Amino acid sequence: MVTTRGISLLGGSALMWLLGRTLGLPELFVVAAATAALVAIAFLWVRRSTATVSARRLVATTRLVAGAATEVGLAVRNDAWLPASLLLLEDRCDHALRPDAGGGQPPRFVVAGLKPGRTAAMHYMLSGDSRGRYTVGPLSLRTRDPFRLAERVRAYPLTHDVVVYPRVEPLGDGLTRGNHHGSEASDNKRMFSSGDEFYTLREYVRGDELRQVHWPSTAHRNKLMVRQLEAPWKPEAVLFCDTRAGAHRGAGPDSTLEKALSVTASVLCHLADRRYELRLATEADARPPDASPWQALLDRLAELAPSRVESLAPALSRLRGAEAGGLLAAVLAPPSGSGPVAGHADVRALLATGRRFSGRLAVVVAASTTGTNPRGAELAGILSASGWQATVIGPRDSLTAAWPELLAGRRRRPTGMVRR
């Protein structure tokens, strides 16, 4: 497109042409024609410059933990046989990713005189402080002629999604009691036609693999005998995260909701490192959760929004009706209301659901204007008395510090509180 300067120059060219016609001066005709030709050449120049420039983006990692950074690389190449003029690049990205260039503005770069067949490389850093899914791109390329009479903006529709996970705190090497070997069902021997460890010998049946035939026993008993192997049983865990908007307090990174999601992500990564089969449930789920890879569960935590559900009891009831037996790790807000905590419907449902699991762990994330939260501490005490490993923490407390005490069965008092 023609810039303001180019439009002004075209207007002057038209005016000189009128004056030349009125006054009969051929010199003005020449100046008017030369001026118009200059603008036309500038317009064609910028179109040719951008048409032959290719661009690509490379993101070092598209998955970040809150507070971490990633490098983004840009490369533009001139595929023409003539040099490209001044190029101005702008890569759009969400302001929440905090690019290191431009003081929070989209990263911008200037490439001067890109020669034919040459590539210019640039890079910048992105850091995410808030969980979520963000889009990087599209990339726009702006070029102008040397006289700034015309410019063209070309958009490259290449984009990348960057997912920022909740903050993950490193936890110790301890394991919660009652689930070292996985679920209760895993304590029983489970035999299959193939597995990892020898369990017993049995008579051959149609469909068994011939490579499992135990020939010494076959010769001794005069009938085909095969090795029966025990297949390993993977430990299982269900993570339940309370995301009710009405139950949590505060806003932003210091809210109890964000702390609850951070605690859930930390426990999830801790169990994933120990090769647990993981399920993630919230009060907003319409059915019991299925086992999913830990990366998919972290993606879900990154995008979880507060729900408008008022009670945990229906979701806990659905969870109780599903197949259980392993570890239940619940991250909860204190019970609402002012009545007795022990008689609250959510607490009764939680205790009933916990009986279906061999391991039970709970972290109550509480906040108060006075620095204490009796309902959160009372809930942790009730759970501890019922065989849970439970503790209560505040939004600014460290789960890393609380983890050994949690596994040891000692409750710690919250120190980091936020106002309602």
What is the CA 73 to chain-centroid distance, rounded? 21
Q: What is the pLDDT of residue 169?
A: 95
Q: Dump pLDDT digits (tens) for 197-252.
A: 556 788 887 777 788 888 888 888 888 888 876 555 678 999 999 999 999 999 88
What tokens appear for 398 in the block? 């460290």
Q: What is the pLDDT of residue 188?
A: 40
Q: What is the pLDDT of residue 180?
A: 45
Q: What is the pLDDT of residue 114?
A: 86
User: Which residue carries 């850091």 as its tokens?
Assistant: 127
Contacts of 234 (CB under 8 A, 6+ apart): 182, 186, 275, 276, 277
Could you give the CA distance from residue 302 to residue 62 in angstroms, rounded to a whole number?
A: 13
Could you give the CA distance from residue 259 to residue 331 in angstroms, rounded to a whole number?
A: 10
Beta bridge partners of 124: 72
Contacts of 178 (CB under 8 A, 6+ apart): 327, 358, 359, 360
Q: What is the pLDDT of residue 372?
A: 55
Beta bridge partners of 244: 307
User: Which residue carries 């259980």 as its tokens?
Assistant: 324
The number of beta carbons lying within 10 Å of the beta carbon of residue 215 is 9
Q: 369 burial class (0-12, 13-18, 19+ CB within 10 angstroms)?
A: exposed
What is the CA 40 to chain-centroid distance, rounded? 49
For the chain, domain boundaries:
1-165, 191-230, 236-408
Task: Read off the DSSP letter of residue 129.
Answer: -
Contacts of 268 (CB under 8 A, 6+ apart): 239, 278, 280, 294, 297, 298, 301
CATH 3.40.640.10 holds for 1-165: no
98 within 8 A of 68, measured Cβ to Cβ: no
218 within 8 A of 201, measured Cβ to Cβ: no
Contacts of 115 (CB under 8 A, 6+ apart): 78, 83
Residue 55's alpha-carbon distances to 75, 109, 139, 273, in angstroms, are: 6, 13, 8, 39
Task: Read off the DSSP letter of residue 252.
Answer: G
Could you give the CA distance from residue 17 to residue 22 in angstroms, rounded to a whole number?
A: 9
* Assigned CATH for 236-408: 3.40.50.410
298 within 8 A of 266, measured Cβ to Cβ: no
Could you give the CA distance from residue 160 to residue 141 in angstroms, rounded to a whole number?
A: 17
Instruction: Say what the alpha-carbon torsion angle 168, 172, 174, 175 is, to the nearest 10 degrees.
Output: 0
Q: What is the pLDDT of residue 300?
A: 97
Could you give the CA distance from residue 329 to residue 359 in angstroms, rounded to a whole number?
A: 8
Angle subtended at Cα 101 by Cα 99 and Cα 104, rounded to the nearest 5 degrees = 55
Q: What is the pLDDT of residue 232?
A: 55
- The backbone torsions φ and ψ at residue 271, rounded to the nearest 5 degrees and listed phi first, read -75, -35
Which residues in the chain come in under a pLDDT of 70? 49-51, 100-104, 174-199, 229-233, 322-324, 368-373, 410-420
Q: What is the pLDDT of residue 329?
A: 96
Q: Which of 395, 130, 163, 403 is nearest to 266 (CA)?
A: 403
Task: Please state the pTM of the whole predicted model.
Answer: 0.78
Could you give the CA distance from residue 74 to residue 63 in angstroms, rounded to a whole number?
A: 19
User: Which residue carries 């016609």 as its tokens?
Assistant: 21
Q: What is the pLDDT of residue 193?
A: 40
User: Which residue carries 């003005």 as its tokens?
Assistant: 28
Could you give the CA distance from residue 295 to residue 171 in angstroms, rounded to a whole number?
A: 18
Q: 52 burial class (0-12, 13-18, 19+ CB within 10 angstroms)?
A: middle
Could you give the CA distance from residue 135 to residue 150 in angstroms, rounded to a whole number?
A: 31
Q: Which of 146, 148, 209, 115 is nearest to 5 (CA)?
A: 148
Alpha helical stretches, state H, 24-102: 26-51
365 within 8 A of 260, measured Cβ to Cβ: yes
Strand, coil or helix: what is 371?
A: coil
Q: Dump pLDDT digits (tens) for 314-356.
A: 999 998 876 667 899 999 999 988 889 999 999 999 999 999 8
